[in-house]
Amino acid sequence: MSRDTDTQRIDRRKFLAAGAGVGAASIAGCLGGDEGVEEDDGADDAADDGDDDLRDIMVGILMPETGDLGSLGVGIRDGARLVARQLDGEVDFNLDFATGDTQTDPQAGISEADSLVDAGYPAIVGAAASNVTLQVTRQSFIPNQVVGMSPSSTSPAITDLDDDGYIFRTAISDALQGPVAADFAMDEFGAETAGTLYLNDDYGQALEAAFVDAFEGNGGEALNRVSFEPEQPSYSSQLENALDDDPDLLFVIGFPQSGIQLFRDYYDGFQDDVDLPILVTDGLIDDDLPGEVGDDMENVWATAPAAAGPGVEFFRESYEAEWGDSAGVFNAEAYDAAATLVLANAAAGDNDGTAIRDAIRPVTDPGGELITPENLAEGVELAAAGEEIEYQGAASEVIFDDNGDVASASYDISRVVDGVFEVQETVEVEN
């Protein structure tokens, strides 16, 4: 676990007291002392700027900074961190954000989640990968009555968690992305048959099943359905199986580190014989991918949740100004998750998971003063004063249903053009 202490006003003495129950290695990591833990320049100065007279708003961020999803996870993490950067010095609270690296691995995720929980963080943005989120929520968040809000876990299984209302997500379920992908495959390419190649985890299995159900429900046929394990030295045999019987389209679900090898194998060994459109999903939308693969990948299209909330332009401009890069997939959802948890914490008046859980819908449901990313600081002060507010975010309007899922969202259809994923159209969907 590492502290995001570069610009937030944090009282380090309070943190050390809160973390007294955490192991020595975790405490060292939080303070930037462990090998591999990176702390921004100026962290010590920022840590000394905390105001003892102001209440702390504590938010954890649990994201994959390494592993199969690491190249996307860092940007998602920074979408959440942007909230603390934006509010620092603008509200009458100390913003106390801490981060943990899941390594795209459930056991590492549980360990990092436990460190955040033991250190007193009552609400956590994360995790990212669905298989990590399902384990972290069951093993750490729910038993400890800590709110979890994932910005990128899309497995339909999360909807049905027995979570006593502690688990939310600002990303929409793949129960909807599967039909969007299936409709696009048929409408754009006239595909009547498809091969599928999918990561063998909760995310890959559920999204592939949703795609196949919709594709075959519309009269198509899934010829060969092939799973694969992450970060293998070769995917040639899996590609051969998925491409057998000459499908009209290949549907691929995975993460970037595995995707590099998978697409290298495809272009080296199969492209010349089976030139066909490939449709991927959000986990593979990484603009570094074509360069890593060594191909322009212009036969690759993608579906992914779109950032289409009322505050999206302000968010994009703020993200690029702060981090020096354009916002990517699920970055806006991470911002909305962190903003919602800060607002709910302010309304609850305490770093208590149950109180924050109960305050989430009151600060996001329709009614009250409209709050967007642009006037978020005003929303924090109004929520703390007990005023009614309605947060509408960067990714969506952030209205949660009874299961903690967002009620509506949009999907971008992208294509790789000149080595980057470019949005071609946006599709509106309702949960």
Please check whether residues 190 and 167 belong to one and the same domain.
no
Nearest to 58 by CA among 121, 147, 145: 121
Please check whether residues 168 and 222 belong to one and the same domain.
no
The secondary structure element, H or E, covering residue 94 is: strand 93-101
CA gap 383, 275 in Å, rounded: 56
Query: What does the block give as tokens for 9?
Result: 């006003």
The amino acid present at 82, given as its one-letter code, is: L
Q: What CATH number is attached to the domain comprising 262?
A: 3.40.50.2300
The DSSP code for 40 is -
182 CB-contact burial (10 Å; exposed 0-12 / middle 13-18 / buried 19+): buried
Question: What integer pLDDT is reported at residue 8 of this predicted model?
Answer: 37
Please check whether residues 200 and 152 belong to one and the same domain.
no
Residue 2 pLDDT greater than 60, yes or no: no
pLDDT band at 146 (very low <50, low <70, confident <90, very high): very high
Question: What integer pLDDT is reported at residue 22 of this predicted model?
Answer: 33
- Tell me how many helices (H) and strands (E) the chain has: 15, 15
CA angle 79, 84, 85 (to 5 degrees): 85
Q: What is the mean pLDDT of residues 21-37?
A: 29
Query: What does the block give as tokens for 293?
Result: 């693969």
CA angle 419, 334, 123 (to 5 degrees): 155
Residue listed under structure tokens 């202490």: 5
Question: What integer pLDDT is reported at residue 43 of this predicted model?
Answer: 29
Q: Please name the residue ranges forming H helices in 88-166.
A: 106-118, 130-136
CA gap 81, 346 in Å, rounded: 17
Nearest to 238 by CA among 257, 253, 220, 221: 253
Give how many domains the chain has, as a whole number. 2
Query: Dihedral sign, CA of 229, 233, 235, 237?
Result: negative
Question: What integer pLDDT is reported at residue 275 of this predicted model?
Answer: 87
Question: What integer pLDDT is reported at residue 23 of this predicted model?
Answer: 30
Please check whether residues 241 and 313 belong to one and the same domain.
no
Question: Is the separation of the CB atoms in 99 and 2 below 8 Å?
Answer: yes
Higher pLDDT, 431 or 353: 353
The secondary structure element, H or E, covering residue 428 is: strand 420-430
Tens of pLDDT along 246-302?
999 999 999 999 999 999 999 999 999 998 999 999 999 999 999 999 999 999 999
Q: What is the mean pLDDT of residues 36-51?
A: 38
Q: What is the mean pLDDT of residues 221-245?
A: 97
Higher pLDDT, 65 or 15: 65
Q: What is the mean pLDDT of residues 28-51?
A: 35
Q: Is 10 helix (H, G, I), strand (E, B) or coil?
A: coil
Please check whether residues 157 and 206 belong to one and the same domain.
no
Q: What is the mean pLDDT of residues 121-139?
A: 98
The DSSP code for 173 is P
Residue 142 pLDDT greater than 70, yes or no: yes
The amino acid present at 277, given as its one-letter code, is: P
Higher pLDDT, 38 or 407: 407
Q: Please name the residue ranges forming H helices in 166-255.
A: 174-189, 202-217, 236-243
Residue 409: asked if its preceding bond is cis (omega within 30°), the reply is: no
Query: What does the block give as tokens for 347?
Result: 């309304």
Please check whether residues 131 and 166 belong to one and the same domain.
yes
Q: What is the mean pLDDT of residues 10-23?
A: 30
Please check whether residues 246 and 371 belong to one and the same domain.
no
The residues pairing with 134 across neighbouring beta strands, listed in sequence order, are: none
Please check whether residues 121 and 12 belong to one and the same domain.
yes
CA gap 392, 363 in Å, rounded: 10
Tens of pLDDT along 301-339?
999 999 999 999 999 999 999 999 999 999 999 999 999
Segments forming the whole domain that contains residue 206: 174-305+409-430
Nearest to 127 by CA among 157, 145, 106: 106
Question: What integer pLDDT is reported at residue 401 of this predicted model?
Answer: 95
Please check whether residues 377 and 404 belong to one and the same domain.
yes
Please check whether residues 187 and 285 belong to one and the same domain.
yes
Residue 28 pLDDT greater than 90, yes or no: no
Query: Dihedral sign, CA of 255, 140, 38, 45?
Result: positive
The secondary structure element, H or E, covering residue 249 is: strand 249-253
CA gap 7, 370 in Å, rounded: 27
The values of phi and psi at residue 156, to 5°, are -60, -25
Question: What integer pLDDT is reported at residue 49 of this predicted model?
Answer: 53
The predicted model scores a pTM of 0.85
Tens of pLDDT along 346-401?
999 999 999 999 999 999 999 999 999 999 999 999 999 999 999 999 999 999 99
pLDDT band at 407 (very low <50, low <70, confident <90, very high): confident
Start-to-end CA span in the chain (Å): 35
Please check whether residues 37 and 102 belong to one and the same domain.
yes
User: In 10 A of CB 380, how many CB atoms?
Assistant: 27
Lowest mean pLDDT among 99-103, 146-150, 172-176: 172-176
Half-sphere exposure for 313 (CA within 13 Å, toward CB) = 1
Question: Is the separation of the CB atoms in 268 and 297 below 8 Å?
Answer: no
Please check whether residues 244 and 299 belong to one and the same domain.
yes
Q: Is 218 helix (H, G, I), strand (E, B) or coil?
A: coil
CA gap 356, 305 in Å, rounded: 26
